[in-house]
Amino acid sequence: MALGPLQRFLQISQLSCSASALAIALCWAGASSATEINSVCADFTPERRALFGDLHVHTSLSSDAFVFATRTRPDDAYRFASGAGAARMDVITKSGITRAEAEIPRPLDFAAVTDHAEMIGAPVVCTTPGNPGYDSEICSRFRAPWKAMGTLAEGVATIVKMLGDLDSDAVCGEGGANGSRCTQGMATAWDEIQDSAARFDAPCRFSTFVAYEYSANPELSKTHRNVIFKNAKVPALPVSSRTTPEALGLWRSLANECINAGTGCDAITIPHNPNLSNGRIFSVEPFLDDDPSTENEADLERREHAQLRHDLEPLVEMFQIKGDSECRGDLAGILGDTDEFCGFEKYRTPLTISPEDCGDGVGGGALMGRGCFTRRDFARYAVARGIFEQERLGVNPFKVGFIGSTDIHEGLPGDTDEWIRDGVQRPQRLNSFGRDNPGGLAGVWAEENTRDSVFDAMKRRETFATSGPRIRLRLFGGWDLPKDLCTRPDMAKRAYASGVPMGGDLPAITRAGKNGSPTFYASALADPGVEHHPGGLLQRLQIIKVTSDAQGNAIQRVVDIAGGDNDARVEATTCEPVGAGAASLCSGWTDPNFDPNTPAAYYARVIENPSCRAAARVCGRLEANDRPEACDDPKLTRIAQERAWSSPIWFTP
């Protein structure tokens, strides 16, 4: 296969850590050869390398995916993600349901199928002939073809009703959702999930994780969490919000039945798209009494809550098909710089007037596009709130690194390449809800592609999120990092020796008067794309500093450290990019306003030049009679600036 100029250069540059700035950036990205260390993989890299995956995927085992014609199974999902073959899928079109196959253009490095714990029992009952619930009227409707929904509210209402019907005695047996038929169905589905992960796990090439989604919806707010297990040692059944409605119960169960069970089991939880939580995902109740000597039972439980959350929830999914959860500029309690890039992919779009603000309270209805917002619906301000809570509690309950994933309900992990839907390829992805953001990816910096190495990277928060492209982003911080770090061929090795990577904590200042402010070095390497479809060039590299005031308000500072405004654009009719950009960006920044008595967190963000969403390509090439209604929706995003975010580095006095 012939390679384009950028792809050829990237391939050649990985052979040597010298010469060009881009070649040096590749060395920081983990392209150097591995040393002789005992490991599973021949390509073990002590300085770690970037791996891409998707930790949020649904198959037909999830009721809400099944009712919209998804028929992929966990095997199909892993076959697709690993590049082992095509995933078979059913697609709803104007003419009915048609069979299709999909192949990923670039395999992932790791993936997890995360079907809903609450929704995997009934589908087994309804799709297994001979099961006592199979011939029920509800199961017959469940198996029948479904038409596309008109609006978000109509679609959600239909799903909610169907799921409620599935939890009935007629399907599950006496006890409804907790009846014996659905409990046995959950066990059957859980066995399939585990068996499929075991079949497709291929150390050094492709890693799979046994996983599920815990899907609580209090007052139609989304407080879902993906539960990811390190290995094949897992509890007998997933924890469902039907029996365990609060996250504290989930964490207690995982601690007792997994982490502290002495079986070798380990797990983390990852909250997803907090932008639909009405302030609930990052909610904390104030302590009744901050004096530890007079603690009562409620105080102790809240401290336990904070500690369990700190220990079990090291990450947050801040980008997926339901939009961006980094930041939002029209909410109370946000001080400091204005961030012009906070309007990216907002699922609930800004209104002509400011939306109702929950403040420090909570609301409901976000799943229906309703209810209030709060700054605590967004990862940046959760990090700030965590700093505030650490001052009160002695533990940071929101010390979270960042990942992206898809939340795709078609069983296609990592199906994020915008151009894969060029022309008439899978135009059904332009659904009637009027959005075609294909979701994001999870990036980790790991020594090798094995379950242990990838999971350990997630636990130490050495992760990054992307909005879909395979941008490699890295951040280090320290007091004595070399000033020429960006130009050093051994930059990653020196950075680890002299500083801490993203996800880590700056150590205390040990030498008074020397480098009294921390320095941060960020490096970003553009997605090279593939033949005929080059990735986008980079426009700017930024550092975001986050602190909190004594009232719990978030304070933000946004600094361009490389690149900047470049007048890049795309041709509206052809989607061809116009203007200059960078294949790599690297720079250091020393905080001029550092206060050694004030806790803070710092993360990197890199932003691409503008590019076309798949919607613009698909709608521009389809004949009028073939165009989905979404093509004429003024809210449909046609041009976007893709991006990536590193996990923060924290400083605590």
Phi and psi torsions of 122, nearest 5°: -60, -40
Contact between 402 and 464 under an 8 Å Cβ cutoff? The reply is yes
pLDDT at 424: 34
**End-to-end CA separation in angstroms for the chain:** 54
Q: Is the pLDDT of residue 600 over 50?
A: yes
Task: Over range 201-227, report the average pLDDT.
Answer: 96
Percent of the chain clearing pLDDT 90 (strictly above): 65
Least confident segment among 11-15, 316-320, 372-376, 405-409: 11-15
130-171: pLDDT as tens digits: 999 999 999 998 988 665 555 556 666 777 787 789 999 999
Contact between 439 and 406 under an 8 Å Cβ cutoff? The reply is yes
Task: Over range 382-411, report the average pLDDT.
Answer: 94
Task: Over range 207-229, report the average pLDDT.
Answer: 96
pLDDT at 433: 37
Element holding 199 (H helix, E strand): helix 180-200
Least confident segment among 33-42, 49-58, 100-109, 119-128: 33-42
Task: Over range 575-580, report the average pLDDT.
Answer: 91
pLDDT at 16: 34
pLDDT at 359: 86
The pTM (predicted TM-score) of the whole model is 0.91
Could you tell me what percentage of the chain is helix, strand and coil, using 3-state DSSP and rounding each to the nearest 5?
30, 25, 50
Neighbouring-strand partners of residue 542: 560, 605
261-301: pLDDT as tens digits: 999 999 999 999 999 999 999 987 654 445 555 567 777 77
Task: Over range 513-529, report the average pLDDT.
Answer: 88
Percent of the chain clearing pLDDT 70 (strictly above): 84
500-509: pLDDT as tens digits: 999 999 998 7
pLDDT at 6: 41
Q: How confident is the model at residue 177 (pLDDT cuts 50, 70, 90)?
A: confident
Rounded Cα distance, 229 and 214, in Å: 13
Q: How confident is the model at residue 430 (pLDDT cuts 50, 70, 90)?
A: very low
Which conformational region is residue 11 in: left (phi greater than 0), alpha (psi within -120 to 50 degrees), or beta?
alpha
Rounded Cα distance, 223 and 278, in Å: 9
Task: Over range 559-582, report the average pLDDT.
Answer: 92
The token pair at 567 is 């007048």
Least confident segment among 81-95, 113-127, 635-649: 81-95
Rounded Cα distance, 327 and 336, in Å: 13
Q: Is the pLDDT of residue 617 over 90?
A: no
Average pLDDT, the chain: 86
Q: Is the pLDDT of residue 97 over 70?
A: no
Contact between 155 and 433 under an 8 Å Cβ cutoff? The reply is yes
What angle, 0 to 180 degrees and rounded to 10, lies between the N-to-C axes of helices 247-254 and 297-312? 70
Q: How confident is the model at residue 625 (pLDDT cuts 50, 70, 90)?
A: confident
- Give me the long-range contacts of 135-141 (CB less than 8 A, separation at least 24): 136/170, 136/171, 137/170, 138/165, 138/166, 138/168, 138/170, 138/171, 139/171, 141/165
Phi and psi torsions of 457, nearest 5°: -60, -40
- Please tell me which of 182-186, 432-436, 620-624 the model is most confident about, judged by mean pLDDT: 182-186
What DSSP letter does each residue of 382-426 carry, written as one string? HHHHHHHHHHHHSS-TT--EEEE---BSSS-TT---GGGG-TTSS
Q: Which CATH code for domain 49-651?
A: 3.20.20.140
Q: Is the pLDDT of residue 251 over 70?
A: yes
pLDDT at 147: 58
pLDDT at 353: 47
Q: How confident is the model at residue 35 (pLDDT cuts 50, 70, 90)?
A: very low
Helix, coil or strand: residue 191: helix
